[in-house]
Structure 1
Amino acid sequence: MNENTMQFDMEKNKKDLTRTILMQVNESLMEKGYNPINQLVGYLISGDPSYITNYKGARTLIRKLERDDILDEVIKAYLLIK
């Protein structure tokens, strides 16, 4: 039995979820022959989920995330901010 207090990190959880979903959506787009970067940019700019394929539930997955949260995590990763 673990007697130490567990700590929940909401920011880390959100970051991990965002990364996992983006990787799954990327894989689905690639498998269907789309350019994932172009499709994701189109989605992020327009908010139109039809830029994301339904294949393997990718469209449903991407809609679980707020677009501004996706952009936040992508920019942090690009700038190497933790």
Structure 2
Amino acid sequence: MQDKNNTQYFKVEKEPEIKVKDVLDIVYHALSEKGYNPVNQIVGYIMSGDPTYITSHNNARSLIMKVERDELVEEILKEYIKTNSWQ
């Protein structure tokens, strides 16, 4: 029986943080495996916010919805600039 006079503690375990780059990689491969054009599907998702552009295969849809769309664009742009440096 619990003591009603003392404060009870409740601890929620956090899910491990997954990097945006890793989310994009998982989603890209899941879309490819299912026969979709990953670039078109990811662009469709970013532009519309509609998660049905992303397959649920390998939990890709759930993963991409944990990341803000502007973070996806930021990561894609950073990688583009890194590989196509104009300097």
How does the TM-score come out when normalised to structure 1? 0.76
Mark the structure with the bigger radius of gyration: 2
Q: Hey, what's the Cα distance between the residues in 2 that align with 1:43 and 1:36?
A: 10
Q: What is the CA deviation profile of residues 8-60 of structure 1, one whole-angstrom value per residue up to 9, with x for unaligned ones?
A: xxxxxx8x701111100111000000000000000000000000001111000
Structure 2 equivalent of residue 20 of structure 1: 22
The percentage of aligned residue pairs carrying the same residue is 48
How does the TM-score come out when normalised to structure 2? 0.72
Q: Aligned match of 1:67 in 52, 56, 69?
A: 69
Structure 2 equivalent of residue 46 of structure 1: 48
Q: Hey, what's the Cα distance between the residues in 1 that align with 2:57 and 2:67?
A: 17
**Any stretches of 5+ residues in structure 2 without a counterpart?**
1-16
More helix by share: 1
